[in-house]
């Protein structure tokens, strides 16, 4: 290349750089506008998470260290609310009732859901109809209407006692008003809400490899052995998933106890769920600081139980990828 041509290229280079810089500025401007538009679309969510979730959470944490009754300004009392809780007999009773409810209702619900899922997985005709029918209780179980119906069914002159008298039990108890049986009616109501875990189990059953069952049948394994040796181990991830969800939901149960006991937790505080006592203290007695302390203890307990399940899952949850 001649010296003249090199000189021409050198003199033209700055002129060519100008449009590239202009294009970069336009791209940067377009990216800024795109980012602004993205933040504008995110703004409603940010306002909601800060104003309706994060703000109230931090406010409740602060109120748990105060004495606050909605009518006067909060007064800082430190850990006094937390100390008072462990000297409150009704609070301790609500803890006992809630633990009984969680430890009985959750395993029963999961076992019943798994049993029905196994039955529905046996190639029944009209499976989709049965699946929809069995899922309905999950949609209605925690509603006020179903809790009212449940109270009528298990009252002294309800349908359950009518059936029992017809079967020969002349003097059945009033299941709702007896402190020995009232909690079990709520546990039965919780078990009746088996639809959601059943759908998850049924989806898992339909994904299990058939060649394992064929090999087991060749080796002479019966249905019960196939269930304990193949089905249940392969379903343990779903059992773990359902267990975590149902446990958290059981700790937060409120509507059933509120409706069936008329908001009192009776008889003799036998159905006094933790959340019901929290509601009574916060909105009945206006002990907002006390209720906030109860709420944070509940959060800590749920986190503790959930963390314990995750910690122990390595010993009983089997993932197929681990075997490869």
* 166-223: pLDDT as tens digits: 888 888 888 988 899 999 999 998 998 888 899 899 899 988 888 888 999 998 888 8
Q: Which residues have CB under 8 Å from 246's CB, separation 6+?
A: 106, 109, 110, 197
Instruction: Map residue 193 onto helix, strand or coil.
Output: coil
Lowest mean pLDDT segment, chosen from 86-95, 131-140, 228-237 = 131-140
Longest dimension (CA), the chain: 119
pLDDT at 33: 87
Lowest mean pLDDT segment, chosen from 125-134, 183-192, 203-212, 229-238 = 125-134
Q: What is the mean pLDDT of residues 106-134?
A: 82
CB 113 within 8 A of CB 197: yes
pTM of the model: 0.82
208 DSSP 8-state letter: S
CB 83 within 8 A of CB 297: no
24: pLDDT strictly greater than 80: no
pLDDT at 121: 84
pLDDT at 183: 93
In 10 A of CB 149, how many CB atoms? Answer: 16
Instruction: Map residue 75 onto helix, strand or coil.
Output: strand
Residue whose token pair is 């189990």 = 201
Q: Which residues have CB under 8 Å from 251's CB, separation 6+?
A: 98, 102, 274, 298, 301, 302, 305
- pLDDT tens digits for range 136-173: 666 665 577 778 888 888 888 888 989 999 888 888 88
Residue 300 exposed, middle or buried by CB count within 10 Å (0-12, 13-18, 19+): exposed
Share of the chain above pLDDT 70, in %: 87
Lowest mean pLDDT segment, chosen from 129-143, 252-266, 293-307 = 129-143
């Amino acid at each position: 290349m001649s010296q003249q041509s090199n000189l021409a290229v050198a003199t033209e280079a700055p002129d060519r750089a100008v449009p590239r810089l202009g294009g970069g500025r336009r791209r940067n401007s377009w990216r800024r506008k795109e980012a602004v538009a993205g933040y504008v679309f995110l703004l409603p969510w940010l306002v909601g998470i800060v104003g309706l979730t994060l703000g109230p959470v931090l406010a409740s944490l602060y109120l748990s260290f105060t004495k606050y009754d909605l009518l006067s300004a909060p007064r800082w009392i430190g850990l006094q609310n937390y100390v008072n809780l462990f000297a409150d007999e009704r609070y301790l009773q609500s803890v006992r009732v809630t633990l009984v409810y969680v430890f009985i209702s959750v395993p029963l619900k999961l076992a019943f859901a798994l049993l029905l899922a196994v039955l529905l997985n046996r190639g029944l005709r009209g499976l989709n109809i049965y699946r929809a029918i069995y899922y309905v209780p999950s949609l209605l179980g925690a509603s006020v209407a179903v809790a009212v119906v449940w109270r009528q069914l298990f009252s002294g002159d309800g349908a359950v006692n009518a059936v029992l008298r017809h079967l020969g039990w002349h003097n059945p108890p009033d299941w709702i008003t007896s402190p020995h049986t009232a909690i079990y009616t709520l546990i039965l109501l919780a078990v009746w809400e088996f639809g959601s875990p059943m759908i998850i189990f049924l989806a898992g059953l339909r994904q299990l490899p058939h060649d394992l069952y064929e090999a087991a049948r060749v080796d002479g394994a019966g249905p019960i052995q196939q269930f304990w040796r193949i089905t249940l181990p392969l379903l343990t991830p779903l059992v773990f998933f359902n267990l975590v969800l149902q446990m958290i939901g059981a700790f937060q149960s409120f509507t059933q106890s509120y409706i069936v006991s008329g908001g009192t937790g009776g008889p003799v505080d036998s159905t006094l769920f933790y959340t019901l006592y929290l509601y009574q203290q916060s909105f009945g007695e206006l002990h907002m600081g006390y209720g906030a302390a109860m709420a944070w203890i509940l959060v800590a307990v749920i986190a503790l139980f959930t963390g314990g399940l995750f910690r122990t899952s390595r010993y009983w949850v089997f993932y197929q990828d681990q075997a490869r």
